[in-house]
Structure 1
Amino acid sequence: MNSAASAASAPALLPLRRRIPTLPISSSLFRRRPNNRSPSQDRRLGSSLSLERLRRSSAAELRRLADAADEAFSDLRKSYRVERGDLIVFSCRRSSLVFVGNLLLWSLAAVIAVRVLVWIGLGFRWRRWGFGEWAAVRRRDRSLGGREVVVGRRKSEGLKVSVNPLSPAKSSFAGNGKIAVEKRGRRREELPKWWPELSPSPSPSPAVDVQREELQREANRLVRAIMDNRMSGKDYRYDDMIQLRELCRLSGGKISFETANVRDSFYRAAIDFVLEICSRATQTTVKVQINGEDVRTFISALADNIGLPSFRAATLIRAAVAARTRASFLQSWALEAQGKRSEALAELLKIGVIHQIFPPEEQSPEMEMVASGIKKNLQADQRKHLLTLYRGVCGAANCTTVAEALDLRS
């Protein structure tokens, strides 16, 4: 009974559950972890991601392009067929034609872009390494009467590139160079002092008008004959020059050649003819004439008859005189070295006669060109010996310009 009462009084036992302690969950676990990277690292990471995306897209585009090219090539290979023996049928998909057209267009654009980039790159390289500050190198052309021509470009460093190899270097100040160029330009526009004044042709009277027209037609026929001979490979004849000048003098008219080059070539031949006539004189004081006219009047009037400007004609005469001077000096020394004194003096006499009739100006570019050529072939003592011989045969006339031609200026 005691056991039953105790059992009745005892509380009912429930199954025990193990309680798990609940820990507080902090919201910090769900927060973003702090970023310890610097802004530069973020930029590099973003750049690498961008490059990766660009690489993947480029690779995908190249694969797509390769597939399109393969498909178009396969389609074009099967695009034609022969039917009924001689009928060729061409058929292809529109995408193939579009691919070919785009390929040609983009190829052309790529070529143009490459050329532009190369041009820009070369220009940048010239400027970066000093190639951009190049100055024009000018030299005087003896065949053009000492006219300055550009023969190349050279880098200018502080000093202006000399326009003449014999002249001293000038300052890079632009004003001095401009003044020097203007002075040279004015000198080229001035006629030499020996250039004669040509009297204007009188107006024809009615009585001789018909005769002058006939002389003009004869002069035109002579010019055509001269041109025909020249086209056939024949040289200009001195008789034709004399006859042409006579016809133009009597008719008071002018003639014209087909081109300016032919006109200048004819006038150069006339200058050589005149200088050859002058070289035959035995004394420097002899008055040389051609067909009753003074040689100066003949050659200057002939330039007016053929329509050659006086400045251009004077330039050609200066150049021819300089060439004759150089050739005669070298020939004279060659004869002197061979012991042929008389023939050497005859060559020097030719120079004296030519300089007496067509005297060069002092400090002229033509004589500087002669001096630069002779100095390369003759020593200083040899040039002094030639000057002594020249004074003995020609006297003191034009010794200043002759000394300049021999580069013996005091």
Structure 2
Amino acid sequence: MFSPNTVSSSTFYSHFHLPPRCPTFLSATFRRRSRRRNRRNKFTSPTTTHSEPKIETVIDLTHLNTFRTSLRSNIRQFVSSAEDAYTDLQTLLTIDHNRRLVVSCRPSTLNFVATSTLFTFLSFTALRLIIHFGSRFLNWTRNASSYTAPMVRRDRSLGGREVVVGTVTAKKAANPLSPVERSLNLRRASKNKVVGVQKKLPKWWPHIINGTVLDVDDQEEYKREAYRVVRAIVDSRMAGKDIIENDIIQLRQLCRTSGVQVSIDPTNVRDSLYRASVNFVLNVCSREPTYSTSIDIDGEDAQKFLAGFAENIGLENVRAATMVSAAVAARTRSCLLQAWALEMQGKHIDAMVELSKICLFLRIFPPEESSPEMEMVGRGLEKHLKLEQRKHLMFLFGKVCGEDSQTIAREALGLMNSQYSDQLEDNFA
């Protein structure tokens, strides 16, 4: 019989399968914690039992050393070949004892020259391709971040209609309220319809009827005479002399009578001839009384004279009309400035006479309403004359020319504002 107090420790340990020298309570606690730890590891972080494949790259440094050594040897060999080829080319041309020219070189030299030429060509081609594709890539990146927008302006000569005058490069992140964006929206709304500049003749431009039909011999005689006058005009112009008014009248008379057309080269001489004819007609208008209604040039109306002369020398009607409008605008500006200078000097009568010079040709060759030529004259006078001075000139112009051409004079003086017009009408009244 065993008493509890007499049980040996070895028997007790063997009965409970506990390790020796371990207290009972510590062993039970260890087993309990071990079970909890195994259960927690089972459900939270299970251990992986398989191994993942690995990517391995092996770089053999001995190959790098071999490549470096081979590159150095190739460079040395190339330099040596270049030196040998240079030495051989120095004796490329020789003269033997029979006084004959001998061309000789080694095959290695030819091989080196051919290899060098091919390598240079390939290198140059590769460099050009790199530059080409690089520039195209840069242009593509720039175009990707920007776009071109049309620049729209209002043309007064076309009745205030909008005309595309150019393009503007804008960023994609531009402000939608910017002028460029507004013009783009306008273009999209109008379904990309571009308003072209319409070339038209002024209202005063007459219809020209060709001269009577003559016999072939008579027409050839008139044509030879007309070209004789043209040669005299060209020679005079090339010599730096002014074109004579009698030559202009004679050339117009010959062409009007026979219906022939002459060709004048170069074109700048032809344009100079027509400008001289326009100035001649304006000078005649300036010498006539202001109450005149028409001007005759060699028995022909001034308007028909200029229109017919443009046709005789092969000048386009629209371009001729533009030259006339420009000459009228320039003469108007000059007379207005000269009249104000005389008024400042106290020469009131001379100022009135100067203003009277523009009354008649403004009546005979009236510019179109809101013409760009008169708009430029008005902007130019705004920089030279104050508002009160321009009003005073407008008042003097009304006293000399009456109500005729007052609208044109207002445009030339920059007084198209309704407030200024009301004040001037009160002054005239």
Q: Does the alignment reach a TM-score above 0.5?
A: yes
Task: Give the alignment of 1:249-268 within 5 angstroms.
Answer: 249-268=256-275
Structure 1 position 120, deviation (Å): 2.5
Structure 1 position 129, deviation (Å): 5.4
Deviates more, 1:384-393 or 1:117-126: 117-126
Name the CA distance, whole Å, in 2 between partners of 1:59 and 1:282.
105
Partner of 1:10: none
Structure 1 position 69, deviation (Å): 5.9
1:193 to 194, 203, 228: 203
Partner of 2:85: 75
Matched, 1:91 2:105: yes
Distance 1:364 1:91, change over 3 A: same
Number of residue-to-residue matches in the alignment? 348
Task: Give the alignment of 1:3-402 within 5 angstroms.
Answer: 34=51, 64=74, 68=78, 71-72=81-82, 74-81=84-91, 83-84=94-95, 87=101, 89=103, 91=105, 93-106=109-122, 108-110=124-126, 112-113=128-129, 115-117=131-133, 119-120=135-136, 122-124=138-140, 126-127=142-143, 130=146, 132-133=147-148, 135=150, 155=170, 172-174=186-188, 181-182=195-196, 184-185=197-198, 188=199, 190-204=200-214, 206=215, 209-402=216-409
Unaligned runs of 5+ in 2: 1-49, 158-162, 419-429
AA aligned to 1:105 is F
2:234 alignment partner, SS class: helix
Distance 1:308 1:61, change over 3 A: farther
Q: Deviations over 1:276-307 (max 9, x none)?
A: 22222331535322222221111100011112
Structure possessing the higher relative contact order (Cα contacts under 8 Å, 6 or more residues apart): 1
Structure 1 position 60, deviation (Å): 7.0
Contact kept? 1:137, 1:153, Cα under 8 Å:
no
Structure 1 position 350, deviation (Å): 2.6
Contact kept? 1:160, 1:169, Cα under 8 Å:
yes
Name the CA distance, whole Å, in 2 between partners of 1:62 and 1:128.
46
Please tell me whether Structure 1 or Structure 2 has the larger radius of gyration of its CA atoms.
2
Structure 1 position 338, deviation (Å): 3.5
Superposition TM-score, scaled by structure 1 size: 0.70
Deviates more, 1:87-96 or 1:383-392: 87-96
Percent of aligned pairs with the same residue?
A: 37
Contact kept? 2:94, 2:103, Cα under 8 Å:
yes
Distance 1:106 1:199, change over 3 A: same
1:363 alignment partner, SS class: coil
Name the CA distance, whole Å, in 1 between partners of 2:379 and 2:104.
74
Deviates more, 1:264-273 or 1:246-255: 264-273
Name the CA distance, whole Å, in 2 between partners of 1:155 and 1:340.
56
Partner of 2:27: none
Contact kept? 1:72, 1:95, Cα under 8 Å:
no
Structure 1 position 251, deviation (Å): 1.7
Contact kept? 1:138, 1:152, Cα under 8 Å:
no
Name the CA distance, whole Å, in 2 between partners of 1:374 and 1:302.
32
Distance 1:127 1:283, change over 3 A: same
| Superposed CA RMSD | 4.1
Distance 1:291 1:128, change over 3 A: same
2:384 alignment partner, SS class: coil
Superposition TM-score, scaled by structure 2 size: 0.67
AA aligned to 1:84 is I
Partner of 1:5: none
Distance 1:291 1:122, change over 3 A: farther
Structure 1 position 218, deviation (Å): 0.6
Deviates more, 1:74-83 or 1:363-372: 74-83
